Protein backbone atom coordinates (compact mmCIF):
# COMPACT_ATOMS: atom_id res chain seq x y z
CA UNK A 1 0.00 0.00 0.00
CA UNK A 2 1.08 3.51 -0.55
CA UNK A 3 2.39 5.70 2.23
CA UNK A 4 -0.30 8.32 1.60
CA UNK A 5 -3.03 5.68 1.94
CA UNK A 6 -1.60 4.37 5.20
CA UNK A 7 -1.21 7.91 6.56
CA UNK A 8 -4.81 8.74 5.57
CA UNK A 9 -6.04 5.57 7.33
CA UNK A 10 -4.32 6.74 10.51
CA UNK A 11 -5.49 10.35 10.22
CA UNK A 12 -9.15 9.46 9.75
CA UNK A 13 -9.06 7.76 13.15
CA UNK A 14 -8.03 10.96 14.96
CA UNK A 15 -10.42 13.54 13.52
CA UNK A 16 -11.49 16.14 16.10
CA UNK A 17 -15.20 15.63 15.48
CA UNK A 18 -17.07 12.43 14.67
CA UNK A 19 -17.98 12.24 10.97
CA UNK A 20 -21.62 11.86 9.97
CA UNK A 21 -22.92 8.47 8.87
CA UNK A 22 -22.69 9.30 5.16
CA UNK A 23 -19.00 10.11 5.43
CA UNK A 24 -18.33 7.05 7.57
CA UNK A 25 -20.06 4.80 5.03
CA UNK A 26 -18.17 6.35 2.11
CA UNK A 27 -14.77 6.02 3.77
CA UNK A 28 -15.55 2.45 4.85
CA UNK A 29 -16.54 1.39 1.35
CA UNK A 30 -13.44 2.93 -0.18
CA UNK A 31 -11.16 1.38 2.45
CA UNK A 32 -12.57 -2.11 1.98
CA UNK A 33 -12.40 -1.84 -1.83
CA UNK A 34 -8.81 -0.60 -1.61
CA UNK A 35 -7.63 -3.30 0.79
CA UNK A 36 -9.74 -6.34 -0.12
CA UNK A 37 -11.35 -5.63 -3.47
CA UNK A 38 -14.84 -6.80 -4.39
CA UNK A 39 -17.33 -7.67 -1.63
CA UNK A 40 -16.56 -11.24 -0.61
CA UNK A 41 -19.19 -11.81 2.07
CA UNK A 42 -22.96 -12.22 2.12
CA UNK A 43 -25.10 -9.20 2.92
CA UNK A 44 -25.90 -9.19 6.66
CA UNK A 45 -29.37 -10.08 7.88
CA UNK A 46 -32.33 -7.74 7.98
CA UNK A 47 -31.88 -6.74 11.62
CA UNK A 48 -28.16 -5.99 11.35
CA UNK A 49 -28.71 -2.39 10.28
CA UNK A 50 -25.11 -1.27 10.79
CA UNK A 51 -23.71 -4.31 9.02
CA UNK A 52 -26.06 -3.82 6.07
CA UNK A 53 -25.08 -0.15 5.70
CA UNK A 54 -21.40 -1.08 5.74
CA UNK A 55 -21.94 -3.89 3.23
CA UNK A 56 -23.96 -1.59 0.95
CA UNK A 57 -21.24 1.10 1.09
CA UNK A 58 -18.62 -1.47 0.10
CA UNK A 59 -20.82 -3.02 -2.58
CA UNK A 60 -21.36 0.46 -4.09
CA UNK A 61 -17.66 0.39 -5.03
CA UNK A 62 -18.06 -2.81 -7.06
CA UNK A 63 -15.91 -2.74 -10.20
CA UNK A 64 -13.55 -0.08 -8.86
CA UNK A 65 -9.87 -1.04 -8.94
CA UNK A 66 -7.91 -1.13 -5.70
CA UNK A 67 -5.63 1.67 -6.94
CA UNK A 68 -8.55 3.96 -7.79
CA UNK A 69 -10.21 3.19 -4.44
CA UNK A 70 -6.96 4.01 -2.65
CA UNK A 71 -6.61 7.34 -4.45
CA UNK A 72 -10.24 8.26 -3.77
CA UNK A 73 -9.85 7.25 -0.12
CA UNK A 74 -6.87 9.58 0.31
CA UNK A 75 -8.75 12.44 -1.38
CA UNK A 76 -11.85 11.84 0.73
CA UNK A 77 -9.86 11.81 3.97
CA UNK A 78 -8.31 15.15 3.00
CA UNK A 79 -11.83 16.61 2.64
CA UNK A 80 -12.85 15.08 5.97
CA UNK A 81 -9.83 16.63 7.69
CA UNK A 82 -11.02 20.06 6.58
CA UNK A 83 -14.65 19.34 7.48
CA UNK A 84 -14.06 17.70 10.89
CA UNK A 85 -10.61 18.93 11.92
CA UNK A 86 -7.50 17.02 12.80
Q: What is the CATH number of domain 3-84?
A: 1.20.80.10
Judged against a pLDDT cut of 70, whether residue 13 lies above it is answered with yes
69 pLDDT tier (thresholds 50, 70, 90): very high
What is the percent of the chain where pLDDT is above 70?
A: 99
pLDDT(48) > 70: yes
Average pLDDT score over the chain: 96
C-alpha distances out from residue 70 to 17, 34, 38, 50, Å: 23, 5, 13, 23
Mean pLDDT confidence for 21-41 = 97
* pLDDT at residue 1 in the model: 67
What is the value of pTM for the model shown? 0.93
DSSP for residue 72: H
Amino acid sequence: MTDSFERAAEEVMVLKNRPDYGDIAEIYGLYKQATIGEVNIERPGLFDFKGRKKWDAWNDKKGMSKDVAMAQYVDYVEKMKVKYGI
